[in-house]
Amino acid sequence: MLFVGWDGGGTSTKVLCMSKDGSIVAQNQFGTLNLNGSSEDSISATISSCLTWMRAQGECASLCVGAAGISNQHAKSTLQSLIRSQGYDGRLQIVGDSDIALTGAVGDSGFVLIAGTGSICIGQATDGQKARCGGFGHILDDKGSGYAIGRDILVAVIRAQDGRDQATELTALVENKLGFNDPASIVTYVHDANRAKSDIAGLAPLLSIAYHHGDHAAETIVRKASKQLYMLVNGAASQINVDNPKLAFLGSILTHCEPITIETTRLIESKLPHVQIIKPLHSASFGAATLAYKYDQLEGMNNG
């Protein structure tokens, strides 16, 4: 019997089959499972591919699907219906993408700090308590995220050009990336009705270049973003009691933007010395398969 986890993402869906002893039996990758940006036909096609491959690996005792956007009950119900309509009638659990990332990265207890296009820190204790800090969207929140950094880069360029702040290397870097750097064009770019959050977040890699050249504006953005990310961890850690808490970093900002990783680590180690920063133990798809196993055990006990 297999316990299967799906990590449904905007670019691909990773599927992992696990045995009862926690060994990985097989894993594969399929199309998008984006509940917010893909058509129902596209999602259905991905589900079909995942189920066909999954069945070829052996009998599935329990399936856990992790995906973004399932806090929307309609989206969650739609996903469940699509899976059931294609003949899967076994145990099924649908959870958020952050839940499977957390279980995969730290296991039964600990925290993950996620900083990609958005930002959030979530945690769980062995007694089932959960913590969440941040993650309330780019308009109200997502501090320290790729979107926030990209926006701050554009703000720095505008402020340097109208004389409020000193010149910054970010001005030339933005022009090289976008083809313009004047305030009017920046405003038009940001407010374009078709502008995706990922477009703004895509400017974040420019930060490391300017920072390593000693750029004052870049240094300010690094300090600001790192402080905000530390505050997410501090907030989540204050919500639940975890003995010897572990913390894993996830997301493109914390895995590819070295200045922010270093400064965020320094702040956490100096202000929260009891928190141990670790590398993620496993993938999100492994976390989903682990939750599938736990759900199977729970249902088995409940059904006698």
Q: What gap in Å lies between CA 204 and CA 190, rounded to an integer?
A: 15
Looking at the domain 2-107+282-302, which fold is it? Answer: Nucleotidyltransferase; domain 5 (3.30.420)
| Residue 234, number of CB atoms within 10 A of its CB | 16
Nearest to 112 by CA among 293, 207, 254: 254
Tell me how far apart the alpha carbons of residues 90 and 123 are, in angstroms, rounded to a whole number. Answer: 29
- Looking at CATH, the fold of the domain delimited by 146-278 is given as Nucleotidyltransferase; domain 5 (3.30.420)
- From residue 3, alpha-carbon distances to 20, 83, 170, 283 in Å are 7, 16, 48, 15
The answer to whether domain 2-107+282-302 and domain 146-278 are alike in fold is yes
Domain ranges of the chain: 2-107+282-302, 146-278
Q: pLDDT category, 304, cuts 50, 70, 90? A: low
Task: Average the pLDDT over 157-169 and give the result.
Answer: 97
Residue 303 is predicted with a pLDDT of 66
Top-confidence residue, 169 or 33: 169
Q: What is the pLDDT of residues 229-249, one digit of tens each?
A: 999 999 999 999 999 999 999
The predicted-structure confidence for 167-187, as pLDDT tens digits, reads as follows 999 999 999 999 999 999 999
Q: Which residues, 6+ apart, have CB-to-CB distance to 214 below 8 Å?
A: none
> What pTM value is reported for the model?
0.90
